[in-house]
């Protein structure tokens, strides 16, 4: 894989036990992105997505829009790196 735009987002709020990861997986099907979404032991959900910058940004914005009632805070980091994912999955 070549170099891709990567975004790592940590969502906090009421994000576990509400179908958050499944909703993210459904939104991912609408975009050309690869990555993973996972529950963390501290109650947050981590989303990693990579692809074209515009697609990744649109995808993460769509996730926030869909789940806005559950998200209190979203902490982001982003950059370019070699692609590491194939497809999108819940882990």
Whether 72 sits among the annotated catalytic residues: the reply is: no
pLDDT in tens, 14-43: 999 999 999 999 999 999 999 999 999 999
pLDDT in tens, 39-76: 999 999 999 999 999 999 999 999 999 999 999 999 99
Catalytic residue among 21, 44, 72, 81: 21
Domain boundary assignment for the chain: 3-90
In the prediction, which pLDDT does 2 show?
87
Catalytic residue among 8, 39, 66, 81: 39
The set of residues, in sequence order, having a beta carbon less than 8 Å from that of 86 and lying 6+ positions away, is 34
Instruction: Write out the CATH class of domain 3-90.
Output: alpha beta
In the prediction, which pLDDT does 42 show?
97
Whether 44 sits among the annotated catalytic residues: the reply is: no
As a whole-number percent, the residues of the chain with pLDDT over 70 amount to 99
């Amino acid at each position: 894989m070549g170099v891709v735009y990567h975004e790592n987002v940590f969502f906090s709020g009421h994000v576990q036990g509400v179908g958050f990861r499944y909703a993210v997986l459904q939104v991912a099907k609408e975009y050309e992105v690869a990555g993973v979404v996972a529950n963390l032991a501290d109650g947050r959900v981590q989303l990693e997505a990579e692809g074209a910058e515009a697609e990744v940004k649109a995808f993460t914005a769509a996730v926030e829009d869909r789940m806005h009632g559950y998200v209190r805070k979203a902490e982001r980091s982003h950059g370019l790196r070699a692609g590491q994912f194939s497809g999108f999955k819940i882990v």
